Structure 1
Amino acid sequence: MRRLFCLIVLYLLIGGAPVVAADWSLAAYWAKNSPDRMIDILRGLNPEMRSSYLNAMALNYRFHQGRRIHWEVEAQLVRHHGMQDHWESNAVLVARWMDFPWDRWLDTRFAFGQGFSYAWEVPPLEPRSDPEDGESAQLLNYLLMELEFAPPAPDSQWSGMIRLHHRSGVFGTFSGVEGGSNFIGLGVRYRF
């Protein structure tokens, strides 16, 4: 019974045919830093914000189209300004859930991505207030969570998005870094 359940779940998640034609998108987003931990941002509706910003461009390629989940790779170039001033590059594997019951009124997608982030300088805002959390490093884990909204037309190329941009040491896995940074942002995506 457990094996059958696992096969059904696996089919729902990755079933479907590979994409024949390239499915690219270009996204641009702006985000503002929150010193709050990621879990606190996701739980609360009013995170503390500070005057550190980023502008990002993301090139995304969908390499597999499942029934409900699309698998994508994304490359980002990010410019930080405000309380810190440096560049960042990210390479991310993304799973995008495509099927919501209200899609006929507002096409909605949820994405979760995991990858690597390289800051061209050690970001000064990433150390936490607790000295035991340690200093940051240039190479850290990158995580994204995104809600995307588009008109319900099947040929719609434009969409808007809300994104959580997160860099961290994953509890010390990367260079012993315990802290990280969170940016909450808005952006647009064009599919071609």
Structure 2
Amino acid sequence: MPIGPDRIAGGLLVLLFGAGGAALTGEARAQSAAEPPRVGTADLLSPTPVAAEPVWGAAVFLGASGGGADLHVLAYKPWHIDPSDHVFAGTAVSRRLARFWTDFTVEAEVGAGQRVGNRYHASEAWVAGYLRYDGFPWNRFVKTSVAFSTGLNIIDNLPSEETRRADKHHSHLLHYFSPEVTFALPEAPNHELVVRFQHRSGVFGTFNGVWGGSNVVAVGYRYRW
């Protein structure tokens, strides 16, 4: 049977539109595969969404009392500790909440610890929020971050640094300020060495009129996942 011009034209149209649709579909699939998945609205804050990073962290710490030294002295002379006063052991769990301006993160942390000395023993707990910066130019050699916290610390037995001062006001609940520095190898960024200063204070009388405080210098290990 001879094939008419109408059938030939119809066949050409089917082939044309079929090939074009297949090409468009293939291009769309390739474009979709090339684009990274977006998680919620985290990409509005940073080119690296929080969901693409380790979110949780768990840490253990060992340290010692800062004795009578003020925090600003311990910051550049951390060896001025007084283990004879008491030693410290603690643990903490943290969660990264957001990343912004590429190199800043906000984290929440809860922790607990024990202080043990010759004639002293205390249990403490804290909850804090941290602001962290991790955009240092040498990160390809040693990944580094610095963080500062604000929060609350409660202890069941006041350390001697808080009771031997002339200040007559005392409080088991005080402000918790805990600056820290972390270091990690670029090939193992989830394993961090942590150096932390744990500072309890009344923030110039804000907490029950307390003007004094106490310090612990601690070294720890944090694993992020």
TM tier, shorter chain? 0.7 to 0.9
Deviations 1:39-78 (A, max 9, x none): 2222446525242111110100001012111100000111
Q: What is the aligned partner in structure 1 of residue 191 from structure 2?
A: 158
1:188 aligns with 2:221: yes
CA distance in 2, matches of 1:171, 1:69: 28
Paired amino acid for 1:150: A
The percentage of counterpart residues that share the same residue type is: 30
Which one has a larger percent strand, Structure 1 or Structure 2? 1
Q: Greater shift after overlay, 14-23 or 32-41?
A: 14-23
Aligned to 1:94: 130
Q: Is residue 26 from structure 1 mapped to residue 58 from structure 2 by the alignment?
A: yes
Matches of 2:108 and 2:176, distance apart in 1:
13
Compute the TM-score of the two structures, normalised by the length of structure 2. 0.72
Compared with structure 1, are the counterparts of its residues 134 and 15 closer, same or farther at alpha carbon in structure 2 (3 Å cutoff)? farther
Alpha-carbon separation, structure 2, partners of 1:180 and 1:99? 32
Moved over 4 A (4+): none
Question: How far apart, CA to CA, are the structure 2 residues paired with 1:122 and 1:33?
Answer: 12
| Equivalent position of 2:173 in the other structure | 139
Structure 1 gap ranges (5+): 1-13
From 88, 92, 95, give the equivalent of 1:61: 95
Of 202, 211, 215, 1:169 maps to 202
1:125 counterpart SS class: helix
- TM-score with structure 1 setting the length: 0.84
1:75 to 110, 113, 117: 110
Once the two structures are TM-superposed, the CA of residue 158 in structure 1 deviates from its matched residue by 0.9
Task: Determine if contact 1:134/1:178 at 8 Å carries over to the other structure.
Answer: no
Q: Which residue of 1 aligns with 2:25?
A: none
Aligned-pair Cα RMSD in Å: 2.0
In proportion to residue count, which structure has more helix?
2
Which letter does structure 2 place at the counterpart of 1:113?
Answer: S
Secondary structure of residue in 1 paired with 2:51 = coil
Distance in 1, Cα, partners of 2:90 & 2:106: 21
- Supply the AA of the counterpart residue of 1:24: W
* Counterpart contact for 1:128–1:179, Cα < 8 Å: no
Which whole-Å CA distance do the structure 1 matches of 2:129 and 2:183 have between them?
A: 20
Which AA in structure 1 matches 2:204? F
| Paired residue total | 176
Please give the per-residue CA displacement for 1:68-100, whole angstroms capped at 9, x wherever unaligned: 111000001111111531111100000111111
Counterpart in the other structure of 2:46: 16
Task: Give the AA of the match of 1:74.
Answer: E
> How many angstroms does 1:128 deviate by?
4.6
Q: Relative contact order (C-alpha < 8 Å, sep 6+): which is higher?
A: 1
Give the superposition deviation at 1:36.
0.6
> Which has the greater radius of gyration?
2
Letter in 2 for 1:106: V
Equivalent of 1:119, from 155, 172, 176?
Answer: 155
Tell me, in whole angstroms, the C-alpha distance in 2 between the residues paired with 1:73 and 1:156. 20
Counterpart CA distance in 2 for 1:44 and 1:162 is 13
User: Structure 2: any 5+ residue segments left out of the alignment?
Assistant: 1-43
Q: Within 1, Cα distance between the matches of 2:156 and 2:78?
A: 32
